[in-house]
Amino acid sequence: MIEIINLCKNFGDHVVLNNLNLTINTGETTVIIGRSGCGKSVLLKHIIGLLKPDSGQAFIDGKDITRLAGRALNGVRMKFGMLFQGAALFDSLSVWENVAFGMLEHNNRRKDEVMDRVTECLGLVGLSDVEELKPAELSGGMRKRVGLARAICMKPEIILYDEPTTGIDPIMGDAINTLIRELHDKLKVTSVAVTHDMISAYKIADKIAMLYNGRIIAMGTPEEIKNTRDPVVKQFIHGEANGPITLGG
């Protein structure tokens, strides 16, 4: 389980997270929605310990990751896989070296075992015969899928997705959504995705939480969110320019 308690984070004078509370149950896919720049990615980075809060706590299976450093932090991070918005593949490494990175760093496996696992992961994301290519030779959609293969290679318990469908065409986006759903069903992982793409959110989520003004203002199943009476949530999910959320806010 992931439990965020009273998380606060400022960048200079800009308040991003303001006493944020959130609970993510094991085995569920939770999607965090919100406007661009509202702090969704900042929240995700706190969950995996890339950022330290100004105050508050983030518990991962009972361990407060905000207080950890060094080996202890790395031990918790081994439970995670993360798909970054731009995939964040290592430019100097080939596709198979990217996917196998975690195994090559932390597990003393034979090369044939590593290659078998790489082929399996690439197969799960619908890629083949790309092992020797460099990231620069891949399309945007292929890079996302290789990033996803890398995220699952070490059999994580928790997968984080940062804007998984941003920057790719709608057809590829739906393919990524389907992959996320299939991986969740096959691997039985806890998933946390941040997005402002409502089609993606409805497709992959067990629970949707809305981040607004540094806090979670609503949380529920996709049906509950679709039928919400909260004017802020309604304005966002329907994509309306007029409402309590102003363009400057």
Partner 1 sequence: MLNIKNGIRALGEKAIGLISYVGGLGIFTGEVFFWLFHPPFRIKQIFKQAEKIGVMSLPIVSLISLFTGMVLALQSAYQMQKIQAEMYIASLVALSMVRELGPVLTALVVAGRCGAAITAEIGTMKVTEQIDALETMATNPINYLVTPRFWALLISLTVLTIYANCIGMLGGYIVGVYKLRITHHMYVKMTFDPLRHSDVRNGLYKSVVFAIAICIISCFEGMRAQEGAEGVGKATTSSVVKSFVLIIACDCLLTAFMYFIGR
Task: Please report, as ranges, the residues that interact with partner 1 according to CB under 8 A.
Answer: 45, 48-50, 74-75, 77-78, 80, 82, 84-86, 88-92, 101-102, 105-106, 154
Asked if 20 and 66 touch (Cβ cutoff 8 Å), the reply is no
Nearer to partner 1, 157 or 230 (CB): 157
Nearer to partner 1, 82 or 204 (CB): 82
Min dist. Cβ of residue 167 to partner 1 (A): 13
Nearer to partner 1, 6 or 74 (CB): 74
Min dist. Cβ of residue 107 to partner 1 (A): 12
3-class state of residue 96 by DSSP: helix
Q: What pairs with residue 202 in β-bridges? A: none
What is each CA distance from 238 to 94, 151, 203, 227, 231, in whole angstroms? 41, 32, 16, 11, 10
Min dist. Cβ of residue 104 to partner 1 (A): 10
Identify which of 67, 73, 123, 122 has the alpha carbon closest to the alpha carbon of residue 95: 122
Nearer to partner 1, 167 or 220 (CB): 167
Nearer to partner 1, 82 or 237 (CB): 82
Q: How far apart are CA 246 and CA 100, in angstroms?
A: 45
Min dist. Cβ of residue 21 to partner 1 (A): 24
Q: What pairs with residue 31 in β-bridges? A: 193, 208
Nearer to partner 1, 88 or 217 (CB): 88
Q: How far apart are CA 147 and CA 149, in angstroms?
A: 5
Asked if 24 and 2 touch (Cβ cutoff 8 Å), the reply is yes
Identify which of 124, 134, 162, 136 has the alpha carbon closest to the alpha carbon of residue 41: 162
3-class state of residue 99 by DSSP: helix
Min dist. Cβ of residue 105 to partner 1 (A): 5
Place of tokens 């959320």: 245
Min dist. Cβ of residue 231 to partner 1 (A): 34
State which amino acid sits at residue 190: T
Residue 57 is given by DSSP the state: E
Nearer to partner 1, 80 or 212 (CB): 80
State which amino acid sits at residue 199: I
Min dist. Cβ of residue 171 to partner 1 (A): 25
